[in-house]
Copies of this chain bind each other. A is one copy, B any other.
C-alpha cells in the first residue's frame, strides 16, 4: 500500500471503526474484477461507510491524502465502470452497507432508498405496500440504487415509465469536495438553477457519489396481458407499435426478437418451446398491465392485435392464457443472451437510434457488418419501443472463444460509426465506463467533449472520483 493510502486507511479506521475498512486480500479480491470478467483492477482497500456523514468524512480524507476513490455498488457494470484502475492508485468506496429504505410513502407514491439498497429488495419493499418500482433488469439481485442512478439504468419497462432519469425524484450525494448535496426533497416543480440531480444521474460516479435517492412508485400490477406476435419484419413491428397506440397507457414492454434468437433459445435453453405453431422471421413480445383488476388489458390488446392482423401487420399471435404462460414467453426473451453465448462467440453492442430509424438500421446495419466482415452474422434484438437494441455480431463458424477480444477493436468501431450515421447513441443503457471511453471521445463533437471535460474539471478538479471512467482524462491526474 502506498504511504498516502496507508495514512488514509488508518485515519478512516480510526474515525469510523475497523468495520468500515477492508484490507484483507481475500475479501477485496471479488471486487477487483467486473462481473463479465473483462476488466481487472487493483485496490489495497475497500472503504465501506454506513452513513452519508461517513461517506463525507471519507471523501474529506481522500482530498486530504490525495487518494482517488472508485464508487461501487453491486459491481454489475457492463462497461467496467466500477472496476478500479489496474495500477492500484485508487481505493474502492463501497456503498453496500448503506442499504436502508429510509421512507416508503405509498400514498405519496415515493420511496427514499440509500445507495446500497439492492433493486430486488426495493421491489419487495414496494410490493409489501401495494406499490411497484417500475424498473427492472437482469442484474436486479445485485444491482444497487446508487449504481442504477449513476448509470441512468434502463431495462424492459422503459417504454412506459422511462429510465432512472424519469423515476428519480431526488438525490443525496457527497460531492468531490466532501460537501453533502441534499436534493432528496421530491419537488415536482423546482427551478433553482442548474439541476445538480440531473447532472449526477448517469455521471457514473465521476462527479461525486450518490448516497440516497427519492424514487417514484406506481400502483402494483393487478392484471397483465402478455402477447407473442409473429411479424414479417422490423418495419411491420414498428407499424404494429403505432397500431397499438390506443393501449399506450398500458403497454410496458415491446420487445423485438428475430427468428435466430428464438431458435438459439429453443436449442440451448431446456424447457422452452415456441409460443406460435409456425416459424416467423421476427417476433414481438408485448406486455400490457393495469393497476385495477377491472381494467384487465387483455381485451384491448386482443382487439388491437385482431385489427393489426386484418391490416396484414401480424402473421400470428398468442395471448398468454395464464401467468405461467406469460412467464414462459418472458423466459424466452430473458434467455436470449445466454442462448446466444451458447451458440458461439459474439460481440455485443448496446446501442440506440431514433425509434423511426430502427427498422432500417437493424436490416441495413446487419448487412453492412456481414459485408465488411465476411463469415460473421449480425442480428439485433431488444427494446424496439425505446429505439434500443442489443446488436450482436457473431463470429464465423469455428472461431476460437477469444474471437470477440481479438476483433472488438475493428468491428465495434465499425458498428458505432453506423450508429452515429443513423443519429444514434453508442451507449443506450450500459453507460461508458472504461469500455467505451475512447469511442465516446472519438465519436462526440468537439463541442460536446469540451463541455464534458469542462464539467468534470469544474466539479472534480483533482480527478478523485472514478478516474479513467467516462471522460477521456484517462487515469492521469489533471493539471491543478
A185 touches B152 (CB 8 A): no
Q: How far is B373's CA from A183's CA once the two chains are assembled, in angstroms? A: 31
Closest Cβ of chain B to A171, distance in Å, is 12
B-contacting residues, A349-390, CB 8 Å: 352-356, 383, 385-388
Question: Smallest distance from the beta carbon of A206 to chain B beta carbons, Å?
Answer: 8
Could you say which residues of chain B place their CB within 8 Å of the CB of A207?
194
Contacting pair A188 B445 (CB below 8 A): no
The answer to whether the Cβ of A51 comes within 8 Å of any Cβ in the partner chain is: no
User: Across the interface, do A190 and B427 meet the contact criterion of CB distance under 8 Å?
Assistant: yes
The majority secondary structure among interface residues of chain A is loop
Contact of A440 among B193, B198, B201, B459 (CB under 8 A): B193
Cβ-defined contact, B446 with A192, below 8 A: no
Given the interface contacts A179-B445, A202-B195, A450-B177, does A107 sit within 8 Å of B242 by beta carbon?
Answer: yes
Q: Is the CB of A124 closer than 8 A to any CB of chain B?
A: no
User: 1/0 per position for A151-185, CB-CB distance to B under 8 A?
Assistant: 11010001100110110000000010101111001
Is A196 an interface residue, CB under 8 A from the partner? Answer: yes
Q: Which of B188, B202, B444 contacts A387 (CB 8 A)?
A: B188
A185 touches B354 (CB 8 A): yes
Interface set, chain A 437-459, CB cutoff 8 A to B: 440, 444-448, 450-452, 454-459
Sorting the interface of chain A by its residue count into under 10, 10 to 19, 20 to 34 or 35 or more gives 35 or more
Tell me if A470 is interfacial: C-beta within 8 Å of chain B: yes
Contact (Cβ within 8 A) B108 A431: no
Contacts A182-B445, A185-B423 given; indicate if A451 touches B191 (C-beta within 8 A). Answer: no
Best-buried of A162, A190, A388 by chain B (most CB within 10 Å): A190
Q: Cβ of A195: which chain B residues have Cβ within 8 Å of it?
A: 165, 198-199, 201-202
- Given A185-B424, A455-B459, the answer on whether A202 and B191 have CB atoms closer than 8 Å is yes
- Looking at the complex, which one of B189, B356, B450 makes contact with A388 (CB distance below 8 Å)? B189
Contact call B189/A386, Cβ cutoff below 8 A:
yes
Contact A429 B191 (CB under 8 A): yes
A425 at the interface (CB under 8 A from B): yes
Say yes or no: B458 contacts A189, CB within 8 Å: no
Q: Which residue of B lies closest to A429 (CB)?
A: B189
CA distance A151 to B427 in the complex (A): 29
**Residue from A162, A423, A446 with most neighbouring chain B CB atoms (10 Å):** A423
Q: Which residues of B contact A186 (CB under 8 A)?
A: 354-355
Which residues in B have their C-beta under 8 angstroms from that of A392? none
Instruction: Please name all residues of chain B whose beta carbon is closer than 8 Å to the beta carbon of A445 when the two chains form the complex.
Output: 179-182
The 6 closest A-B pairs by CB, nearest first: A179-B447, A458-B458, A198-B198, A189-B428, A454-B458, A190-B425
Give the interface of A toward B (CB within 8 A). 105, 107-108, 151-152, 154, 158-159, 162-163, 165-166, 175, 177, 179-182, 185-196, 198-199, 201-204, 207, 219, 242, 245-246, 249, 292, 352-356, 383, 385-388, 423-432, 440, 444-448, 450-452, 454-459, 470-471
Knowing that A180-B445, A191-B430, A194-B452 are A-B contacts, what are 8 other residue pairs whose CB atoms are under 8 Å apart, sorted by A's residue number?
A: A107-B242, A151-B191, A175-B447, A194-B199, A194-B456, A195-B201, A249-B249, A454-B458
Q: Could you write out 6 A-B pairs with CB less than 8 Å apart?
A: A154-B191, A180-B447, A188-B386, A191-B202, A191-B432, A198-B198
